[in-house]
């Protein structure tokens, strides 16, 4: 097939459609079903701690530390892949590999159990790796497939498609969990019907992710091949990061923006990764059934509102500019952190979910497109987006580790959420330092 021209509608839609394919992981696994399933396993077993590597650890720090470790791996692997992809000129093959790794790992979560905790955590670990590395590679396509004036809108469209697709699958999974008998799922010696329905939802995520990604893979270009000596290919990714770092000293606007992004993204991603674990443990839901329904409804509220939030944010940025819009969004995030400290009832949690939805899609889509706009004219988009993604992942490592540490030391997840307020405040200050002149908004 002849490669599609940059900026063509079909190519833009194919790129955005990968969000439709992989966002089901972000919603069903990272945000909705898996955190509920994870908490249910501990409640059924009537324990709060498990033994891992010879030491006992509570459920909340365990999943937080596992998440941090996964992002350490992601931060190392991403530049390695970037270097090899640049010199092979075929980043699509790596995107496929990590897509399939993530999809298969989601299916593997069907066998998640406290009795086989190492295998279980490995599936959770590689699901994260597959999602984030393939997502990073997809991000690096943005300046390749879209012109500057198209990037805000297509970035927002990608996130919106992701929210729509993931909500569709979550509604199906919700029906399975709340009415398992309708789907022929019954309680037996292997476990309760509700728990089994959650396990089936993990399989549905893996299949959805792999199947729908084929549309994107069919139309996306292979990548840009470098015409330079093919030596030390494995380490070239890290060399490219060093080159990007050196170039940042000549681009004050991009350097300051990345500093701000690093800080506020640390808090955003941590909130998104732990929100449901927080709601599952800290909110007074009543019965287990009310807890399951309440948490899933909260996630649905976030996703539906986020669809609108991403598109509205793109339009607001046209009026006020990207940086001013990001400052406003960070202010809202900071307020949410303070509010979350006092959240007790389900209604309190629903209100928080609504505000999170407004700013969640907006800050992700606008952060991605702002970075793309600020890049110098280059074909080496993979290396620049590798740097962007490594910065994001290092931030997540720090954020999730500190969250788990504060929760473990204080014995209260609320203190950890309030702690994230500091990062949003610093992010706002750093965004105010980004030069406002000649910004390509």
Indicate whether 438 pLDDT > 50.
no
For the entire predicted model, the pTM comes to 0.75
- Judged by average pLDDT, the poorest of 68-77, 117-126, 276-285, 347-356 is 276-285
Output the pLDDT for position 35. Answer: 84
Of residues 196, 237, 235, the one with CA closest to residue 380: 237
Indicate whether 26 pLDDT > 80.
yes
Of residues 367, 398, 394, the one with CA closest to residue 139: 367
Query: Cβ–Cβ contacts within 10 Å for residue 88, how many?
Result: 16
Output the pLDDT for position 118. Answer: 92
- CA distances in angstroms from 269 to 26, 247, 278, listed in the order given: 11, 27, 14
Output the pLDDT for position 288. Answer: 76
Indicate whether 255 pLDDT > 80.
yes
Output the pLDDT for position 128. Answer: 92
- Judged by average pLDDT, the poorest of 33-37, 73-77, 269-273 is 269-273
When pLDDT is averaged across residues 160-189 and rounded to a whole number, the result is: 86
Output the pLDDT for position 332. Answer: 93
Output the pLDDT for position 142. Answer: 81
pLDDT tier at 227, thresholds 50, 70, 90? low
Contacts of 15 (CB under 8 A, 6+ apart): 138, 141, 142, 145, 146, 154, 158, 216, 220
Tell me which CATH homologous superfamily contains domain 13-431: MFS general substrate transporter like domains (1.20.1250.20)
- Judged by average pLDDT, the poorest of 92-96, 161-165, 194-198, 201-205 is 161-165
Output the pLDDT for position 233. Answer: 59
Output the pLDDT for position 217. Answer: 92
Contact status, residue 268 vs residue 283, Cβ threshold 8 Å: no
**Cα distance between residue 173 and residue 204, in whole Å:** 8
SS (H, E, C) the chain: CCCCCCCCHHHHHHHHHHHHHHHHHHHHHHHHHHHHHHHHHHHHHCCCEEEECCEEEEHHHHHHHHHHHHHHHHHHHHHHHHHHHHHHCCHHHHHHHHHHHHHHHHHHHHHCCCCCHHHHHHHHHHHHHHHHHHHHHHHHCHHHHCCHHHHHHHHHHHHHHHHHHHHHHHHHHHHHHHCHHHHCCCCECCECHHHHHHHHHHHHHHHHHHHHHHHHHHHCCCCCCCCCCCCCHHHHHHHHHHHHHHHHCCCHHHHHHHHHHHHHHHHHHHHHHHHHHHHHHHCCCCCHHHHHHHHHHHHHHHHHHHHHHHHHHHHHHHHHCHHHHHHHHHHHHHHHHHHHHCCCCHHHHHHHHHHHHHHHHHHHHHHHHHHHHHCCCCCCHHHHHHHHHHHHHHHHHHHHHHHHHHHHHHCCHHHHHHHCHHHHHHHHHHHCCCCCCCCCC
Say if residue 312 is exposed, middle or buried (CB neighbours under 10 Å; 0-12, 13-18, 19+).
Answer: middle
When pLDDT is averaged across residues 346-371 and rounded to a whole number, the result is: 85
Model confidence over 89-104: pLDDT tens digits?
678 898 999 999 999 9
Output the pLDDT for position 204. Answer: 96
Output the pLDDT for position 83. Answer: 65
The residues with which 49 forms a beta bridge, in sequence order, are: 58
Output the pLDDT for position 47. Answer: 82
**Cα distance between residue 71 and residue 65, in whole Å:** 10
Radius of gyration of the chain from its Cα atoms, rounded to whole angstroms = 21
Output the pLDDT for position 440. Answer: 45
Output the pLDDT for position 428. Answer: 94
Contact status, residue 163 vs residue 304, Cβ threshold 8 Å: yes
pLDDT tier at 57, thresholds 50, 70, 90? confident
Indicate whether 430 pLDDT > 80.
yes
Output the pLDDT for position 441. Answer: 46
């Amino acid at each position: 097939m002849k490669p599609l021209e940059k900026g063509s509608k079909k190519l833009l839609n194919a790129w955005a459609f990968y969000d439709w394919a992989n966002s089901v992981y972000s919603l069903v696994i990272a945000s909705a079903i898996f955190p509920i399933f994870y908490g249910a396993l501990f409640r059924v077993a009537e324990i709060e701690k498990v033994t891992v590597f010879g030491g006992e650890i509570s459920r909340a720090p365990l999943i937080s530390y596992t998440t941090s470790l996964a992002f350490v791996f992601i931060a190392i692997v991403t530049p390695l892949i970037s270097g090899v992809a640049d010199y092979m000129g075929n980043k699509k093959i790596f995107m496929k590999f990590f897509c399939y790794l993530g999809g298969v790992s989601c299916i593997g979560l069907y066998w998640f159990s406290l009795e086989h905790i190492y295998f279980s955590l490995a599936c959770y670990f590689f699901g994260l790796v597959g999602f984030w590395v393939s997502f990073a590679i997809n991000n690096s396509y943005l300046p390749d497939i879209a012109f500057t004036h198209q990037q805000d809108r297509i970035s927002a469209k990608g996130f919106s498609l992701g929210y729509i697709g993931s909500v569709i699958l979550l509604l199906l999974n919700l029906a399975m969990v709340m009415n398992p008998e309708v789907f022929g799922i019954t309680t037996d010696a292997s476990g309760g019907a509700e728990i089994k329905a959650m396990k089936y939802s993990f399989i549905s995520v893996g299949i959805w992710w792999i199947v729908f990604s084929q549309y994107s893979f069919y139309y996306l270009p292979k990548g840009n091949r470098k015409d330079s000596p093919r030596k030390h290919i494995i380490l070239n990714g890290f060399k490219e990061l060093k080159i990007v770092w050196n170039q940042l000293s000549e681009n004050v606007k991009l350097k300051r923006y990345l500093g701000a992004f690093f800080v506020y993204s640390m808090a955003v991603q941590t909130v998104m990764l732990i929100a449901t674990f927080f709601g599952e443990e800290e909110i007074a839901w009543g019965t287990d059934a009310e807890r399951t329904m309440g948490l899933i409804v909260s996630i649905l509220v976030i996703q539906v509102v986020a669809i609108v939030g991403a598109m509205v944010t793109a339009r607001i940025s046209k009026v006020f500019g990207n940086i001013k819009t990001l400052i406003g969004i960070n202010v809202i995030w900071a307020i949410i952190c303070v509010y979350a400290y006092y959240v007790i009832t389900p209604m309190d949690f629903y209100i928080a979910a609504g505000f999170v939805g407004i700013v969640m899609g907006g800050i992700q889509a606008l952060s991605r497109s702002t970075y793309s706009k600020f890049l110098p004219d280059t074909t080496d988009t993979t290396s620049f987006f590798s740097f962007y993604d490594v910065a994001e992942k290092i931030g997540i490592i720090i954020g999730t580790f500190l969250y788990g540490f504060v929760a473990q030391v204080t014995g209260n997840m609320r203190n950890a959420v309030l702690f994230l307020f500091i990062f949003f405040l610093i992010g706002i200050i750093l965004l105010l330092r980004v030069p406002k002149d000649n910004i390509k908004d």
